[in-house]
Amino acid sequence: MRNVLAIAARVVAVGLLLTSTITAKTDDFEPFGLPTVPASTGVFTVIWRNLQVQTQFDMKIISRCRALGARCLSPEAKKLISIIDDGANSDGIARIAHINLAVNAALRPSNDNSSVAWLSPLAVLARGRGDCKHYAVVKYAALSEIGINLDDLRIVITEKIGQRENHALVAVRNDGRWLILDNLTSVLTESSQVIDRYRPMYLLDHNGVRQYGNRVATNVTTCHS
């Protein structure tokens, strides 16, 4: 399985590189090439602040698990470490593609009522299933652990155009382009290439929460896929 993911990640990376050679760098500003404004108050701000605290605690568990090696008793911590370390022989876009593929493979899609709450990365992996925001939280944590600069990493809350459904994505800036990681596909794309499908509403990152224009999420807790 690891070899399959590694090969698939390299194929995705090569395909994206070939596409990128003919695509202008339009995403340097923010994902989707659009400006944002701070959202210092609101439900999303509270959710993200709490989740950041929980994630920091998870990262301490990950660090202890690495130190303990075989004596680590947290299966979910071992799983996240495995996702991160299995892509260690890749770099750049290939390693980003590996994280996307590995997290998509590690979780089962779930849209039941018990998946409403935002969960920390290890809580998601312990549960083994989730919706789009859960995939996004695990990818965000894994990417930060492999050394992606936090200034180049976002969770983007979008609305599916024509469907009135919220959908969470992860955006990673690589070589001046914002790459989109989506639980609905193993293919990495640039944000400028999916703006006809997803309307961005909020950005979540290490600085807090920002909002695209006057967009307001219809439901801040659930994803439909």
Q: What is the pLDDT of residue 178?
A: 96
165-216: per-residue pLDDT in tens? 899 999 999 999 999 999 999 999 999 999 999 999 999 999 999 999 855 5
Is the CB of residue 105 less than 8 Å from the CB of residue 82? no
- Region 98-108: mean pLDDT is 96
Report whether pLDDT(57) > 90: yes
Q: What is the pLDDT of residue 10?
A: 54
The domain spans of the chain are 2-20+27-211
75-85 vs 92-106: helix axis angle to the nearest 10?
A: 150
Confidence of residue 163 (pLDDT cuts 50, 70, 90): confident
85-96: per-residue pLDDT in tens? 998 888 889 999
Q: Which of 86, 83, 93, 104 is nearest to 11 (CA)?
A: 93
Q: What is the pLDDT of residue 215?
A: 59
Q: What is the pLDDT of residue 28?
A: 52
Report whether pLDDT(217) > 80: no
d(CA 101, CA 1) in angstroms, rounded, equals: 11
Q: What is the pLDDT of residue 40?
A: 76
* Domain 2-20+27-211 belongs in CATH node 3.10.620.30: yes
- Region 7-35: mean pLDDT is 58
Q: Fill in the DSSP letter of residue 78.
A: H
Residues in the chain: 225
Q: What is the pLDDT of residue 179?
A: 97
Residue-averaged pLDDT of the chain: 86
Confidence of residue 14 (pLDDT cuts 50, 70, 90): very low
* Bridge partners for 38 per DSSP: 210
Is the CB of residue 101 less than 8 Å from the CB of residue 93? no
Q: What is the pLDDT of residue 24?
A: 41
Q: What is the pLDDT of residue 12?
A: 52
d(CA 133, CA 124) in angstroms, rounded, equals: 10
- Region 71-88: mean pLDDT is 95
DSSP 125-148: HHHTEE-HHHHHHHHHHHHHHTT-
Q: What is the pLDDT of residue 5?
A: 53
Q: How many helices (H) and strands (E) does the chain have?
A: 6, 9
Higher pLDDT, 167 or 221: 167
